[in-house]
Structures are given as structure tokens and as C-alpha cells.
Amino acid sequence: MAKGGPKTLVVGTAGHIDHGKTSLVRALTGIDTDRLVEEKRRGITIELGFAAWEIAPGLSASIVDVPGHEGFVRTMVAGAAGLDLALLVVDVEEGVMPQTREHAHVCSLLGVTRGVVALTKIDRLAEDELEEAVELAIADAREGLAGTVFADAPIVPCSAHTGAGLDAVRAAIRAAARELPARSTRDRPILPIDRVFTIKGHGTVVTGTLLAGALRAGRDEAVAVIPAGPRREPISTRIRGLEVRGEAVTRAVAGARTAVNLAGVEASALARGDVVTLGDRVIAATVVHALLEHLPHAKESWRRDTSVELCAGTAHCVAWLDPLARLDGDGGLVEPAGPVTLLPGARGLVRVRLGAPLPCWAGQRLIIRSFEDARASEATRAHGHTIGGGVVLDPRPGAGRGQRPRWRALARGLMASDDAARIEALIADAGALGIAREALELRAGVTALDGALDSLVNRGVARRVAGRYLLTRVLTPVAAAAVEVVTRYHADNPVQPGVSRATVEGLIPGRVSPEVASAAIDVALAEGALVSVDDRGLLARPDHGPAGGFAPAVQRLLDVYERAGLSAPTIKDAAAAVGQSERAALEAIVVLQRAGALTRISNDLSMTTGIYEALVRDIQAHLVAHGRLDVQALKALTGLSRKFVVPLLELLDRQGITRREGDVRVPGPRARG
């Protein structure tokens, strides 16, 4: 735990039936955790028991007393979820037994990192045989607990009946507690429910170990209960009150055994296995990807569709395993050449299909149990029926055939210890679709998510587009696709100056949102692969023509008319000069006329607007000097043939520059400009 200030932790008992767990808890705390009539009658713990314990000034604990009988291992797993420290109880005379080993493996697989072994019932030994019996029991424990969190744990002989060694047990627990890291209170709260009951005058109460974050009473912000099991929907509720170790509080923090009084929800609507949370940290999952360890004492290998029992938090269900890759000795994924089999003792990436929706989150610990009880080998029976466990890597991995290489690639990124690397891996996997912040919160399991995202954006690694995050490098192929769309448009429409942005966005292939397409176009514009043609926002390749100018095919035709001067070619001749069809040439002429670059004289004749305006000025000067203009005079003035002069005079009449009177033209209303 963090140094400085009060500390709180959850200590869980573990061990074989009738080795004295409950008696030891009673001796340490003064509290009897057997709370059911059936437990009193049978003399064994069959449900979870709880006790508050002030270990030392500033150091308090909630003790979870779990059942040791093999028929209640599910209950033991539920109680062990969220432990900071495990107190393994071993009868000095019986030694390490099957449930002792199973509980030890469960604690290890659930991520418990600190443990103490209490060697109980030493008062039953004769004084002259005590030392030797204890030495033998310690040696037996070291051998039987090898490969678990208790392998190097302190082993303390004690007696709950006489009190012998209890101070040493307390000292060992205090020492282990000082080595524990602090739990995060900044994360979203996660509280797996292990008990549900009703208190008269208060309503529904749930209890559990607050694994992360903090809960507050009386806040306006609602909490959610994520259900375990089929055909159930999340429940939105509010916290009416909180208790920690039997005392009313306004705030409960990670690591505390917590009772939550929920408003507006019936106890019948809730069950063990549900999770109280806030935000987008937990999901009712039906498929997860997990890093699992297959215990070496298991009987059978794991292959595709191996059926098992899955325990997650305080919930459990049937599940089917689909190994995707095994881990090598250094913890790296081995790319398989074919179907993957995980032998006993191996670790690997496994796709786990759940038989019912269960609350899951990134980093959640899982326990895998076998259904092969009746056919178990002696070795398997000796080590119980817990055959593996591990941690959820991705609580919402998605579906689809042929995705195994992609899933393995993503898993490599999610296995990184660096928060930013895990987030980057998820953003990269989302591709051009991008991924929402809510999905990142669920799948990355990162406490300081916003800070990590800001870092990626500020470094230019990622971009936020329409509320979704995608890697900047992902925009590169989308930008290239946008350039290809424009290129094809130029080929199909050579006379058009460009194509609208909306058209390009709609023609980019693949599952690309309009927002991502727009961002990719911005990249292409910034890199100079595309240019904006005019104030209408048309897009073009830079080699398609000068900015604000014409497409190459149009510009070449304009050059023909500029070189022709007054001797404007027909459409047929102009098309032949640039190697175009007459239809393409006519389309280009229309573009030039609309742009004001060409002036249409007749259906077949045009001249550049600059040359035409210079000619009009000459004609206006002639009219001022002579007062009239006829065909012969215009032929002499321009050097043009009659077939050109006649339609030219008709255009001058329409424009009001001349007015026809018989066979001559006189000044019109616009004769002086």
C-alpha cells in the first residue's frame, strides 16, 4: 500500500476444509464469520464471511473468510476476487491438501501478489514433538505450494485456541501489507456484488470489494449495475448510502469492503455476479480475449471449443475456449502455422466464448475450472479442478471470420505495459473507421485515458475526427484514394476544371466515414497532392492545370484559338488540332465560353474574348469616323471572309453595337461602348 496516511486492504482466507480458517479469523478479530444456520449446524463455512480488523494504527483490513469445501470453490473464487493479501491456512497435522493447492492456485491466478501461510492447530501437538512436526509441516508446505504466490511466503505456526503465534501472524500480515502498492482511486469504480439483501427502512443493499475507483453517497451522478446472466438489462440507480467495515461513510475507495444502499431497485432484480460501476469501464460480454495459463496438473489440452467453467469476479458460467496463439518463454506471442493447442503448463492468447453474458473489463482476472470431475485422474484430483486462469486482454474483441491474424496483432499491442502503446494499438486496429473514446475506455483499461490521448494527438500520432480517434498514418491511404478518385474524374471529364469535395468523399472506396474522408482530403491538400481550383471548392490534381485555370484538355483548345487570332477555326478544325473528338472539343468550348475565355460568334465559330473585344473597339472607331458599316467594309477592316463577317455582324446587332438598315449597319445604342 502507499506510504503515508491511513491504509485499507482486503485480506482473504484460503485453505482446505476444517483447517481452521474461521476459527483463526475469530481469534484475530473477535468476529464469528459463520453467519448461516446451516454453517453453524454443519460446522463448516459454505458462504462468504466478513470481518473488520484494525491490524495496526492507520492500517485496517476487511477479512473475507471463504469456504474450504470442494463443493463451494465457486464461492471461494467469488470471495478471492479483489484480495490484496491471502492468508492460507494449513493444519499442521494434515498438511497441504487438495483444496489447499486449489485455493493457492486460485489466489495466484487472481493476481494476488502477497501471502502469509498460517500453520494452525499446533496446540494439538505434544510439546516434545512440536518442533519436529512443525519443521516437517513447513517442508511439506514449501513443496506443496511451489509455483504459487505462497511459494516463498512466511509460514507462521499458530493456534487459534491458545493464541500461540497469533502476534507473529499479525506481524507477518503487517509486513506484507507494507509491500502492497496503492489501488487506483482515479479509475472508474468497479464493485462485483457478492451479497444482496434488504434492510427494513433502507431497502436494497449490495456488498462487495471495491476493486477500483471510488463511490460516493448522495451524488446526483447515477451508477449502473451491469448484470450477469441472459435476458437482463443494465440497471441505472443511485447510491442512497455507503458503509465500509460497518461504519456509514460518504465515500468508499478502492480496496474497501463496501456495502452500498441502492435507491429505486428491488433486491430481486440483482444477484451475485452483477457489478456496480460508472461510465464505460464494464460491459456485459459474451466473448473476450484473454491471456490464460493452463496449469501443469490439468488433465487435457485446450483445443478449439474446449468446454470449461469460467469464474469471473463473483460470477460464473460455462464457456468455450479457442486458443489463438501460445506464449513463448519470454511472454511473446508465437505466430502459429495451424490450429493452436495449449498443453498443460502452457500459456497463450485465448478467445473465450461465454455461455451467458457476464460483466467483464480489461484487466479482469479469470479462473478456468474443468467439467471432467468424474473422469479426473489422480493427479488432477490431487490438485482440485481449477485448471487455469488469467487476465482479460480485450472485453469486446469483435467477430468475423479470418480475423485471427488481426486479433493476434492487436493482442501484441494490448500486452504492452505502456498505456499509450495499448491505446495506439486499439486506434490502429480501428483503421479508417476510427474508435470512440468510450470504446477506448472499455478496451484499454487505462486510468489516465484523456492524458494519454492528448499526448498521442499532440505528437501527431493520432487525430480526433468527428469524435473518433484514428492514427494519422491511417489517413495516408485514404488520402491516396481521394487523389485516385480525382485522377479518374479528370480522365472521364477532361474538360472540367475539377470535382466537388462532396463527390470525392462519396467515391472513396471502403468503410470510410464522411468525416474521415474529409480529413484525408485535408491531408492531400496540405501535402499538395490535390489543389483547390476556385472559390467553389473544386478539387483537382496540381498537374491538371494552373490554380484557378483550366483543365489541360481545355487549355490546349484555348491555345488553338489564341494562335488563330481573327481567323477562328471551326469546331471540326479545332478538334483536329488538339486530337480530340468534336464532342469533346464542343464541351471544352462550352467551358471556355462559360468562363468568358471564348466568345461565340456562331454555332461553329468562336474567337478568344480578348481578340473579340479588340475587334469591337476597332469597329466602334470605324462607326464614329464613317457613320456606317457594310459587309465589304468589315471584310476590308478585318481581312475575314464573308462566311465569318456575316455572323459577326449579326452578333454585333444582337449586342447593340450596330443596327441594320437595309444592307448597311449604322451605330447602335452601344456603338460608343
pLDDT for 74 beyond 80:
no
DSSP-assigned letters across all residues of 89-136:
EEETTT-S-HHHHHHHHHHHHTT--EEEEEEE-GGGS-HHHHHHHHHH
For residues 430 and 360, membership in a common domain is answered with no
pLDDT for 376 beyond 70:
no
Coil/strand/helix, residue 403 = coil
**Range of lowest pLDDT (14-28, 542-556, 587-601):** 542-556
For residues 307 and 443, membership in a common domain is answered with no
Coil/strand/helix, residue 215 = strand
Separation of alpha carbons 168 and 174, rounded Å? 10
Which of 277, 292, 322 represents a domain boundary (last residue)?
277
pLDDT for 379 beyond 50:
no
Whether 641 is covered by a domain: the verdict is: yes
Per-residue model confidence (pLDDT) at position 32: 61
Give the three cell numbers for residue 441: 475506455
Alpha helices in 445-474 (DSSP H): 449-458
Whether 631 is covered by a domain: the verdict is: yes
The whole-number average pLDDT for the span 594-600 is 85
Per-residue model confidence (pLDDT) at position 408: 94
98 near 382, Cβ under 8 Å?
yes
Number of folded domains that form the chain: 5
Whether 132 is covered by a domain: the verdict is: yes
**Range of lowest pLDDT (351-365, 534-548, 573-587, 626-640):** 534-548
Q: Is 354 exposed, middle or buried (0-12, 13-18, 19+ CB in 10 A)?
A: buried
For residues 518 and 594, membership in a common domain is answered with no
Which of 185, 183, 264, 184 shows the shortest CA–CA distance to 225? 264
Give, for 646, the enclosing helix (H) or strand (E): helix 642-654
Which residues are identified as catalytic? 18, 21-22, 69
Name the percent of the chain in helix, strand, coil, to the closest 5. Answer: 35, 30, 35
Residue pLDDT, tens place only, 224-241: 999 998 878 999 999 999
Q: What percent of the chain has pLDDT over 70?
A: 89
For residues 21 and 167, membership in a common domain is answered with yes
For residues 14 and 96, membership in a common domain is answered with yes
CATH number of the domain to which 470 belongs: 1.10.10.10
The whole-number average pLDDT for the span 97-101 is 88
Q: Which one is predicted more confidently, 673 or 455?
A: 455
Structural domain for 667, as ranges: 556-673
The whole-number average pLDDT for the span 393-419 is 91
Separation of alpha carbons 507 and 502, rounded Å? 9
For residues 528 and 607, membership in a common domain is answered with no
For residues 134 and 13, membership in a common domain is answered with yes
What average pLDDT does the structure give for the chain? 85
CB atoms within 10 A of CB 128: 7
Give exposure, 507-518, as e/b (b: 16+ Cβ within 10 Å). Answer: bbeeebbeebbb
pLDDT for 14 beyond 70:
yes
Q: Which one is predicted more confidently, 337 or 534?
A: 337
Separation of alpha carbons 163 and 24, rounded Å? 9
Which of 261, 277, 293 represents a domain boundary (last residue)?
277
Which of 549, 572, 596 represents a domain boundary (last residue)?
549
The whole-number average pLDDT for the span 237-257 is 88
pLDDT band at 270 (very low <50, low <70, confident <90, very high): very high
HSE-up of residue 386 (Cα within 13 Å, Cβ side): 29
Whether 183 is covered by a domain: the verdict is: no
pLDDT band at 221 (very low <50, low <70, confident <90, very high): low
Per-residue model confidence (pLDDT) at position 51: 66
Name, in order, each residue with C-beta under 8 angstroms of 291's C-beta and a sequence gap of 6 or more: 327, 347, 348, 349, 350, 390, 391, 393, 411, 415
